[in-house]
Structure 1
Amino acid sequence: MNPIDLRAQIQARMLEALPHPDQAVRAELAEYARMLRDYPERGGKMLRGMLLVYAGLAHGARLEQLLPVAAALELFQNWALIHDDIEDASEERRGRPALHRLYGMPLALNAGDALHARMWAMLIEARASYLVLDEFVRVVDLTAQGQHLEMSWMQTHRFDLTEQDYLLMCAQKAAYYTAVAPLRLGALSAGVEPPATYIEAGLNLGIGFQIVDDVLNLEGDPVKYGKEIAGDLWEGKRTLILLRWLSQASEPERIRAETLLRTPREAKHPEEVAWLHQRLRESGAVAYAQAEAERRLAAGLEALRPVLAELPDQEAAQTMLRLLESLVRREA
């Protein structure tokens, strides 16, 4: 199936599961419906849902079996982003103001909770298997654990972190639901036990995806990136790039950077953020992170190729490989 058509079908299936403002009995509930549809209507690349569909097709599932599960995974992405934007005090999402900037935190939080419920409703209505439901539980749980790690480090002003700390957080917060879960859910939706390779390979690919996201946060095109450039610095996130730079910075620069990162977003001076942004871009930390992302991409794809070569639908399997490569390199 053409990726553009598939993306449109997943988005349409998502929106079908959500209330429409025209059907609301009160003006307030029309606004509620608009809020639930806001992030899903902004689109996004639907890469996780598309990866799930191609994985399922490769394992022999039918498209109609896969679309509601893929749409439910994209609903997970959307409600998690609403909550993540609130927790990070983010300014933008997909090129527009974050939902809490448009409607305020309480209403945005409530909308995220409602989308979470709609996610489970979609799976129930699709008569998803117990194994599929259990995988969604794992996705939510691991993502929450990873988010807790990252937020607790910022809240307690931790700077004694290693690259291994970052990789553990990244594996739980982003990598599992970005690559591992779509691969496993595709197989599970086809009634097949997912190959064990999907976990290790998916984690490598998902970590690579997040590292590239960290790079784009510093160097990306604001229009294509869709989020605030240098937002990670305003929010004080511990990225692989930052940890690498801190480990090599002079003591005065390290103290200056840590002082900035301890400061709440609203009290940060733009000049200091610009200074750290420039120092990170000038250092070798960005190139180091990019090389790590490429290494993990290569390792993940190399592990997957022999497994995918055995699947019944080779056209879908090869499309899935290309999608995974574009996911990490942001070419899709």
Structure 2
Amino acid sequence: MLTPGRLREAIQQRMLEALPRPEAAPRPELAEYARLLRDYPERGGKMLRGSLLCYTGLAYGAPLERLLPVAAALELFQNWALIHDDIEDASDERRGKPALHKLYGMPLALNAGDALHARMWSLLVEAEAPRGVLLEFARLVERTAEGQHLEMTWVERQRLDLTEADYLEMCGQKAAYYTAVAPLRLGALAALAEPPAAFEEAGMKLGLGFQIVDDVLNLAGEREKYGKEIAGDLWEGKRTLILLRFLRQAVPEERSRAEALLRLPRERKPAAEVDWLHRRILESGAVEHARRVAEGMLGEGLEALRPVLAELPEPQAAAGVLELLERLVRREA
């Protein structure tokens, strides 16, 4: 069985093979088009979702050759979704470099995201992916879009009356499903097996826990390891579990001050006020609360998966699924 590092390389290589090459373009404009499509995929990343899919499929006994195109398509989904997400959130950075729309402008970046979306479906069709795989891809695209709509409308309509339950509902749709549930289910479906209910139940907890940890790192992580700007969620006005906890516990004067800042668009937010809110959130205990919630969800998700994976025909690959998830819980992958 491939090591995690070799598997990541194989998935990235398969993904890049599906994209146009600048040197093969018939004119300079289309060479630039190829560079835009390859930009985010060539930046690398953990290939978490593709790797989780492959190890799951291998645990069912499927050959790697059948799984790699599906894993590469899932990583293409991740990349075009990130391009669109960065535009919608007005993000400055992605994977330690300027976001694509910062390098080329919004229209060209948006067009590149659309092209990667089309390449995702082409890769699946060319690989003759099973009908269940195609339906699962449609499901994950739709659920991610629903979650993104929730988050964007909360920001645009200045909703600050939200609860932690609202956040978990949004996050489950936008991030948790495609981070853990879909890779587990797709691994089984690509192996021509019916995914067990535990893949959705445990995967949702794992995906939620992972996203909450990501929110923690956005405020309390190290820029070099995180790969994006620290406190970017505050600049973008993201309604995270951490922010909602802080607002619920803040004294009226601080809550009013924070809400006034959060209602401003990014370009009008004073840096000193963002720094104040960042510092107060770190002092409030809201980050530690989020860490505890994430740890609980991650632990519950892992425990629910263990007996299911133990029943699969290829124990070494099943162990790879757990090892990958456990490394992610410790933020080592």
Shorter-chain TM band: over 0.9
Q: How does 1:36-185 map to 2 (within 5 A)?
A: 36-185=37-186
Residue 269 of structure 1 pairs with residue 270 of structure 2: yes
Q: TM-score, normalised by structure 2?
A: 0.99
Q: Which residue of 1 aligns with 2:231?
A: 230
Q: Displacement of 1:322 after TM fit?
A: 1.3
Query: How far apart are residue 220 of structure 1 and its match?
Result: 1.1
1:185-204 CA-to-partner distances (Å, cap 9, x unmatched) read 00000000001100010000
Q: Deviations over 1:3-56 (max 9, x none)?
A: 110000000000000000000011110000000000000000001000000000
Structure 2 letter corresponding to 1:52: L
Report deviation, 1:221: 1.2
Structure 1: 4+ residue segments shifted above 6 A: none
Query: Residue 227 of structure 1: SS of its match in structure 2?
Result: coil
Alignment of 1:24 onto 2:25: yes
CA contact (8 A) 1:209 1:329 kept: no
CA deviation profile, 1:92-112 (whole Å, cap 9, x unmatched) = 000000000000000000000
- Please identify, of 317-326 and 54-63, the stretch whose mean Cα deviation from structure 2 is larger: 317-326
TM (norm. structure 1) is: 0.99
SS at match of 2:45: coil
Counterpart-to-counterpart distance in 1, 2:274 and 2:24: 46
Distance in 1 between the 2:326 and 2:207 partners? Answer: 11
Aligned mates of 1:280, 1:328 — CA distance in 2: 23
Aligned to 2:332: 331
Q: Helix, strand or coil for the counterpart of 1:312?
A: coil
- Residue 294 of structure 1 corresponds to 295
What secondary structure is seen at the aligned counterpart in 2 of 1:33?
A: helix
SS at match of 2:189: helix
Amino acid in the other structure paired with 2:76: L
Question: Is 1:318 aligned with 2:319?
Answer: yes
Question: CA shift at 1:283, angstroms?
Answer: 1.2
Aligned-residue offset at 1:329: 3.2
In structure 1, distance between residues paired with 2:220 and 2:36:
31
Q: Is the 8 A contact 1:208 1:296 kept in 2?
A: yes
Distance 2:322 2:312 in 1: 13
**2:120 and 2:180 mapped to 1: Cα distance?**
19
Which 10-residue stretch deviates more, 141-150 or 313-322?
Answer: 313-322
What amino acid is the match of 2:16? L
SS of residue matched to 1:176: helix
The whole-number CA distance in structure 2 between the counterparts of 1:208 and 1:215 is: 11
2:254 & 2:308 partners in 1: Cα distance?
Answer: 47
Listed as ranges, the gaps of 5+ residues in structure 2 are: none
Which AA in structure 1 matches 2:326?
A: E
User: How far apart, in 1, do the equivalents of 2:124 and 2:33 lie?
Assistant: 22
| CA distance in 1: counterparts of 2:132 and 2:328, whole angstroms | 26
Give the equivalent residue in structure 2 for 1:203.
204
Is the contact between residue 246 and residue 254 of structure 1 (CA under 8 Å) also seen in structure 2?
Answer: yes
CA distance in 1, matches of 2:5, 2:72: 15
Is residue 306 from structure 1 mapped to residue 307 from structure 2 by the alignment?
yes
SS in structure 2 of the partner of residue 192 of structure 1: coil
* Alignment check: 8 A CA contact 1:212 1:329 kept: no
- Deviation at 1:315? 0.7
Offset of 1:326 from its aligned partner? 2.1
Identity over the aligned pairs, expressed in percent? 73
2:104 alignment partner AA: Y
Letter in 1 for 2:133: V
Q: Which residue of 2 aligns with 1:14?
A: 15
Deviations 1:174-216 (A, max 9, x none): 0000000000000000000001100010000000010000000
| Structure 1 segments unaligned to the other structure (5+ residues) | none
- Looking at structure 2, the residues matched to 170 and 184 of structure 1 have their Cα atoms a distance apart, in angstroms, of 19
The one-letter code matched in structure 1 to 2:236 is E
Tell me by how many angstroms 1:327 deviates.
2.3
Question: Which residue number corresponds to residue 219 of structure 1?
Answer: 220
The one-letter code of the counterpart of 2:273 is E
CA contact (8 A) 1:44 1:94 kept: yes
What is the alpha-carbon root mean square deviation over aligned residues? Answer: 0.6
Instruction: Tell me how many residue pairs correspond in the alignment.
Output: 332
